Structure 1
Amino acid sequence: MELRQLKYFLAVAEESNFTRAAERVHISQPGISAQIRQLEHDLGATLIDRTGRGAGLTAVGEVTLGHARAVLDAVEALRQAVDEMNGLVRGRLVVGMVTACTVTPLFEALSSFHLAYPGVEISLVEDDSARLVERVREGAVDLALIGAAGRAPADLDGRQVISEAIVAAVPPGHPLAAHAADGVTLAELSAHPLICLPPGTGIRAVLDQVSAARGLAPTVALQAAAPAAVMQLAERGLGVAVLSASMLARRPGLVAVPLNDADTAAVLALVSAPTKSPALRELLRHCRESFAAPTGRGEAGGGPALDRGAAIG
């Protein structure tokens, strides 16, 4: 008995006709008839009733049909499982990360995945969040760590990593530093020149969104792609930095001032397209485990630990 004979038998049973079945499986009509007869010989029973105009099943053929389908389904499941494993052995993944964002759990996930599947090529690219989202949508990037305002894009599969408020950051002698305990409004913030991350980043999206909602148009005097550069400029008195709270941890040269009416959170999220390769599914599993691991108190209030200068960009 051969698998192709079961495939031919299934075609005849479903078509109830040798000629149509032969066309379906791309074999001649005499060829499929000979293979069915060989299958009947091997089983020692007649499977096809050839006495009528069509090709109906005998009682034994009806019983055989269910088993034949089960065998062919099992073979297909085996083939898919092997294909998936081959994908993990020979696959390629492109991982995107917002510029200047150092998130230790992501690096740990990439490391553990590489150890488990060394044959998968991993490429890491940096960009701003808006462009990374578009590259995920286009299929150019498989998985990206992005910053966003409020939540990750609804059309992508997303897992929120951090959610925190934006804050103002000023040197100790700045007038706003006196409000470190009670905070200031966005209108009060807008009276000063600001230093922020550029458009396309999550922090900037939050600032622009909450300001527009209150009819404000703050002046962004300076902008830099790296949070560390934004902080250094603010430390030198060139403006008020707008960052997330976790970015300012262990930064003695700046005072964090809450923004009382900035009610949209800055989030850091992993996003991927709905259709996932076996390798991407495994990488996502490693990411879930890495971000859930107790790596210490996160600088964003109980989230995963971030390196100094990490950005929700």
Structure 2
Amino acid sequence: MGYVPNHTVNFELYKIFYYAASSLNFSKAASTLHVTQSAVSQAIKSLESQLDIALFYRQGRNVTLTYEGEVLFQHVEKAYHFFRSAENAIHNIKSLDEGTIFIGASDTITRLFLIDSIKSFHLQYPKVKISINNRPSSRSIEKLEKGELDIAIINVMPNFDYEDLELFPLTTLEHVLVSSAPVDPLQVHLSDWLEQPLVSLEKKSTTRRILEAYYENNGLEMKPAFEFGSFDVVLEAIHAGMGIGFVPKRIASDLIGSKELYEIKIVEPIPSIDIGILINKSKPISIATQKYLEILKNNEGKVIFGE
């Protein structure tokens, strides 16, 4: 006959399981929930009994999740954050006098595209907080999928399927190849600079993957001599004479204008990076988040959500 799902499980048991699985400590879970440790243990036993599975390995005071417990936690974690988001959305429906917008974005995207809109939003809605989680785009996507973020502003990977997420275009970021030493103003080929040390973002970043594809499409292999986690550090390294590198034109333009950096004009067109807004289709967008996106749209002059 097979396993029949138990739809009568009390959701309070899942809440207790979430806190116990998050901390892997029944005592901490009890303290957070303001109940006794015995109540947490009994709730977990009840949930295990109703689901007919073991959720935890218990070895003395050490507690770990079983495989089944890990699978359940992945789903319960998402549900927990969605419930918290729904509560926050209800508060925001009542007024814009409270609440927090959780945004995932890299350091570079925050600096170049979000600061002005955040400032404008704060002037209009000073009681609504904005929390920026500065992580690479790949990490922001993971947190958005879990329901930990309201929106993510990301570097868009071409031809990538974002599955249950919805992507809206925001703007485009042009890149230039620069050097700290004067260069021939005439256009040259990318292959002419392979012997120069290359300063790059770390391998897991979207921009790095797009540039690797760029090299590959031109029959070359990208071999950085130095790798860093942010463009600010990449720019500092190039400025210090450690090598050449690709950087956003918007953050290099002042240094190029003052001749502290020099643009290397190459024949092969350097790919631009699309910047997009990701939302989780399973998670309702709060009134505060909608208001922020309107300001962001106006700042960048883009149409968002089919308006």
TM-score range, shorter chain: 0.5 to 0.7
Do structure 1's residue 210 and structure 2's residue 214 form an aligned pair?
yes
For the residue of structure 2 that corresponds to 1:220, the secondary structure is coil
What residue number does 1:285 align with? Answer: 294
Is residue 169 of structure 2 the alignment partner of residue 159 of structure 1?
Answer: yes
Which one of 114, 118, 121 corresponds to residue 110 of structure 1? 118
Q: 1:137 aligns with which of 140, 145, 154?
A: 145
List runs of 5+ in structure 1 lacking aligned partners: 1-80, 294-313
1:266 aligns with 2:273: yes
Measured in 2, the distance between the counterparts of 1:130 and 1:256 equals 29
Residue 181 of structure 1 corresponds to 186
- State how far apart, in whole Å, the 2-side matches of 1:160 and 1:183 are: 32
1:138-190 CA distance string (max 9 Å, x none): 221212332234588654332222242x33211234xxx21x431422x3333
C-alpha displacement at 1:195, in angstroms? 0.1
Please point out which of 236, 255, 259 is paired with 1:232: 236
Equivalent pairs, count: 207
Offset of residue 94 of structure 1: 0.6
Cα 1:191–1:92 change in 2 (3 A) is: same
- Name 1:147's counterpart in structure 2: 155
Aligned CA RMSD, in angstroms, stands at 3.0
Q: CA separation in 1, counterparts of 2:147 and 2:115? A: 22
In the alignment, is the contact (CA less than 8 A) between 2:109 and 2:154 conserved in 1?
Answer: no
Overall identity of the aligned pairs, in %: 19
Counterpart-to-counterpart distance in 1, 2:268 and 2:193: 11
| Distance change (3 Å), C-alpha of 1:182 and 1:159 | same
Letter in 2 for 1:277: S
Q: 1:121 aligns with which of 109, 117, 129?
A: 129
Instruction: Give the TM-score of the pair, scaled to structure 1.
Output: 0.57
TM-score (normalizing by structure 2): 0.58
* AA aligned opposite 1:194: L
Match of 1:37 in 2: none
How much has 1:217 moved relative to structure 2? 2.0
| Alpha-carbon separation, structure 2, partners of 1:163 and 1:100 | 10
Q: What secondary structure, in the 3-state scheme, does the structure 1 residue paired with 2:267 have? A: coil
